[in-house]
Amino acid sequence: MNTRKATVFVAFAAIVILGCSARAQGRRSPHERTPAVTVDGSEMFIEYGRPFTRGREIFGSLVRYDDVWCPGADEATYLSTTKPLKVGKLSVPAGEYSLWILPTEKEWTLIFNKDAHTFHTSYRSRSDFGRVTMQKETLPANVEELTFTIEPNAAAPGGRIAMAWATTKVSVPFTVE
Protein backbone atom coordinates (compact mmCIF):
# COMPACT_ATOMS: atom_id res chain seq x y z
CA MET A 1 0.00 0.00 0.00
CA ASN A 2 2.87 2.41 0.78
CA THR A 3 4.31 1.85 -2.72
CA ARG A 4 0.99 2.81 -4.28
CA LYS A 5 0.77 6.00 -2.17
CA ALA A 6 4.33 6.90 -3.13
CA THR A 7 3.56 6.37 -6.83
CA VAL A 8 0.46 8.57 -6.62
CA PHE A 9 2.41 11.25 -4.72
CA VAL A 10 5.23 11.25 -7.31
CA ALA A 11 2.74 11.45 -10.20
CA PHE A 12 0.90 14.32 -8.51
CA ALA A 13 4.16 16.17 -7.79
CA ALA A 14 5.26 15.76 -11.42
CA ILE A 15 1.99 17.22 -12.68
CA VAL A 16 2.28 20.20 -10.33
CA ILE A 17 5.93 20.85 -11.22
CA LEU A 18 5.35 20.56 -14.97
CA GLY A 19 2.29 22.81 -14.72
CA CYS A 20 4.24 25.45 -12.80
CA SER A 21 7.10 25.24 -15.28
CA ALA A 22 4.78 25.84 -18.24
CA ARG A 23 3.10 28.70 -16.36
CA ALA A 24 6.44 30.30 -15.54
CA GLN A 25 7.32 30.40 -19.24
CA GLY A 26 4.40 32.77 -19.73
CA ARG A 27 3.14 31.11 -22.88
CA ARG A 28 -0.40 31.70 -23.99
CA SER A 29 -2.15 29.94 -26.79
CA PRO A 30 -2.33 31.86 -30.10
CA HIS A 31 -6.08 32.40 -29.90
CA GLU A 32 -5.50 34.78 -27.01
CA ARG A 33 -3.72 37.46 -29.02
CA THR A 34 -5.09 39.87 -31.56
CA PRO A 35 -3.33 39.65 -34.89
CA ALA A 36 -0.41 42.06 -34.94
CA VAL A 37 -1.45 45.03 -37.05
CA THR A 38 0.55 47.95 -38.30
CA VAL A 39 -1.24 51.26 -38.03
CA ASP A 40 0.60 54.31 -39.37
CA GLY A 41 3.96 52.61 -38.79
CA SER A 42 3.24 51.26 -35.30
CA GLU A 43 3.09 47.47 -34.87
CA MET A 44 0.44 46.75 -32.24
CA PHE A 45 -1.25 43.78 -30.60
CA ILE A 46 -3.28 42.96 -27.50
CA GLU A 47 -2.66 39.73 -25.58
CA TYR A 48 -5.48 38.47 -23.35
CA GLY A 49 -7.34 35.48 -21.98
CA ARG A 50 -10.79 34.89 -23.51
CA PRO A 51 -13.52 34.06 -21.00
CA PHE A 52 -16.97 32.93 -22.19
CA THR A 53 -20.37 34.25 -21.11
CA ARG A 54 -21.79 30.70 -20.76
CA GLY A 55 -25.29 32.10 -20.30
CA ARG A 56 -24.27 34.32 -17.38
CA GLU A 57 -25.21 37.95 -16.92
CA ILE A 58 -21.88 39.72 -17.32
CA PHE A 59 -21.95 43.47 -16.77
CA GLY A 60 -23.44 44.66 -13.51
CA SER A 61 -23.28 41.10 -12.14
CA LEU A 62 -20.19 38.96 -12.84
CA VAL A 63 -18.30 42.17 -13.68
CA ARG A 64 -19.49 44.63 -11.05
CA TYR A 65 -20.06 48.27 -11.85
CA ASP A 66 -17.79 50.78 -10.09
CA ASP A 67 -14.95 48.23 -9.61
CA VAL A 68 -11.76 48.18 -11.70
CA TRP A 69 -11.80 45.03 -13.83
CA CYS A 70 -9.18 43.28 -15.94
CA PRO A 71 -10.91 42.41 -19.22
CA GLY A 72 -9.65 38.89 -19.70
CA ALA A 73 -8.55 35.89 -17.68
CA ASP A 74 -5.35 34.61 -16.06
CA GLU A 75 -2.55 37.08 -16.84
CA ALA A 76 -3.55 40.72 -17.18
CA THR A 77 -4.53 41.85 -20.66
CA TYR A 78 -1.82 43.98 -22.23
CA LEU A 79 -1.29 46.23 -25.24
CA SER A 80 2.02 46.39 -27.08
CA THR A 81 2.86 49.29 -29.42
CA THR A 82 6.14 50.10 -31.16
CA LYS A 83 5.37 53.83 -31.52
CA PRO A 84 3.78 56.41 -29.21
CA LEU A 85 0.00 56.71 -29.35
CA LYS A 86 -2.50 59.42 -28.60
CA VAL A 87 -5.47 57.58 -27.08
CA GLY A 88 -8.30 60.00 -26.57
CA LYS A 89 -6.45 62.89 -24.90
CA LEU A 90 -3.77 60.66 -23.35
CA SER A 91 -0.24 60.47 -24.85
CA VAL A 92 1.02 56.89 -24.43
CA PRO A 93 4.73 56.21 -25.10
CA ALA A 94 5.75 53.13 -27.11
CA GLY A 95 5.88 50.00 -24.96
CA GLU A 96 3.64 47.53 -23.17
CA TYR A 97 0.78 48.40 -20.81
CA SER A 98 -1.74 46.26 -18.97
CA LEU A 99 -5.31 47.29 -19.76
CA TRP A 100 -7.96 47.63 -17.07
CA ILE A 101 -11.51 48.93 -17.31
CA LEU A 102 -13.64 50.80 -14.79
CA PRO A 103 -17.24 50.11 -15.88
CA THR A 104 -20.11 52.12 -14.45
CA GLU A 105 -23.72 52.11 -15.54
CA LYS A 106 -23.21 55.39 -17.44
CA GLU A 107 -19.52 55.63 -18.35
CA TRP A 108 -16.62 53.24 -18.93
CA THR A 109 -12.96 54.16 -18.49
CA LEU A 110 -9.93 52.43 -20.01
CA ILE A 111 -6.88 52.39 -17.73
CA PHE A 112 -3.33 52.04 -19.04
CA ASN A 113 -1.10 50.57 -16.32
CA LYS A 114 2.71 50.35 -16.39
CA ASP A 115 2.65 46.79 -14.89
CA ALA A 116 2.25 45.07 -18.25
CA HIS A 117 3.01 41.53 -17.11
CA THR A 118 0.98 40.90 -13.99
CA PHE A 119 -1.90 38.67 -12.91
CA HIS A 120 -5.47 39.75 -13.70
CA THR A 121 -6.32 40.20 -10.00
CA SER A 122 -3.19 42.25 -9.18
CA TYR A 123 -4.34 45.76 -10.06
CA ARG A 124 -2.17 48.46 -8.50
CA SER A 125 -3.46 51.97 -9.11
CA ARG A 126 -0.07 53.47 -8.18
CA SER A 127 1.22 52.05 -11.49
CA ASP A 128 -1.51 53.68 -13.60
CA PHE A 129 -0.14 55.61 -16.54
CA GLY A 130 -3.46 57.23 -17.43
CA ARG A 131 -7.18 56.89 -18.03
CA VAL A 132 -9.41 57.50 -21.03
CA THR A 133 -13.21 57.59 -21.32
CA MET A 134 -14.55 54.87 -23.63
CA GLN A 135 -17.46 54.95 -26.04
CA LYS A 136 -20.04 52.29 -25.24
CA GLU A 137 -22.63 50.67 -27.48
CA THR A 138 -25.16 47.87 -27.10
CA LEU A 139 -24.75 45.05 -29.59
CA PRO A 140 -27.74 43.37 -31.25
CA ALA A 141 -26.37 39.86 -30.61
CA ASN A 142 -24.39 38.19 -27.83
CA VAL A 143 -20.60 37.93 -28.20
CA GLU A 144 -19.94 34.65 -26.34
CA GLU A 145 -16.16 34.99 -26.04
CA LEU A 146 -14.50 38.22 -24.89
CA THR A 147 -12.87 39.76 -27.98
CA PHE A 148 -10.41 42.60 -28.44
CA THR A 149 -9.73 44.23 -31.79
CA ILE A 150 -7.43 46.93 -33.09
CA GLU A 151 -9.37 48.52 -35.94
CA PRO A 152 -7.37 50.77 -38.29
CA ASN A 153 -9.34 53.69 -39.78
CA ALA A 154 -9.92 53.15 -43.49
CA ALA A 155 -9.87 56.77 -44.64
CA ALA A 156 -8.01 58.61 -41.86
CA PRO A 157 -4.96 58.17 -39.62
CA GLY A 158 -5.23 56.06 -36.47
CA GLY A 159 -7.93 53.65 -35.47
CA ARG A 160 -9.86 52.22 -32.53
CA ILE A 161 -9.05 49.83 -29.71
CA ALA A 162 -12.24 47.88 -29.01
CA MET A 163 -13.49 45.19 -26.65
CA ALA A 164 -16.75 43.27 -27.10
CA TRP A 165 -18.36 40.80 -24.72
CA ALA A 166 -21.95 39.76 -24.10
CA THR A 167 -24.02 42.55 -25.69
CA THR A 168 -21.57 45.37 -24.92
CA LYS A 169 -18.86 46.92 -27.07
CA VAL A 170 -16.56 49.65 -25.76
CA SER A 171 -13.83 51.42 -27.70
CA VAL A 172 -11.44 54.35 -27.78
CA PRO A 173 -9.97 56.18 -30.78
CA PHE A 174 -6.21 56.47 -31.16
CA THR A 175 -3.66 58.04 -33.47
CA VAL A 176 0.03 57.28 -33.83
CA GLU A 177 2.24 60.17 -32.75
- 79-106 mean pLDDT: 97
Residue 92 included in any domain: yes
pLDDT digits (tens, 9 = 90+) for 97-154: 999 999 999 999 999 999 998 877 789 999 999 999 999 999 999 999 999 999 999 9
Say yes or no to pLDDT of 49 above 80.
Answer: yes
Q: Give domain status of residue 19, yes or no.
A: no
Domains in the chain: how many in total?
A: 1
Confidence of residue 5 (pLDDT cuts 50, 70, 90): low
Domain assignment present for 1: no
Q: Is 22 exposed, middle or buried (0-12, 13-18, 19+ CB in 10 A)?
A: exposed
For residue 8, pLDDT beyond 50: no
User: Is the residue at 9 inside a domain?
Assistant: no
Query: Does residue 21 fall inside a structural domain?
Result: no
Specify if 17 maps to a domain.
no
Residue 11 lies in a domain: no
Which structural domain, as residue segments, surrounds residue 35? 29-176
Q: Which residues pair with 98 in a beta bridge?
A: 78, 113
Residue 172 to residue 140: CA distance in whole angstroms: 20
Rounded to whole angstroms, what are the CA distances from 24 to 35, 72, 121? 24, 19, 17
**Is 8 part of any domain?**
no
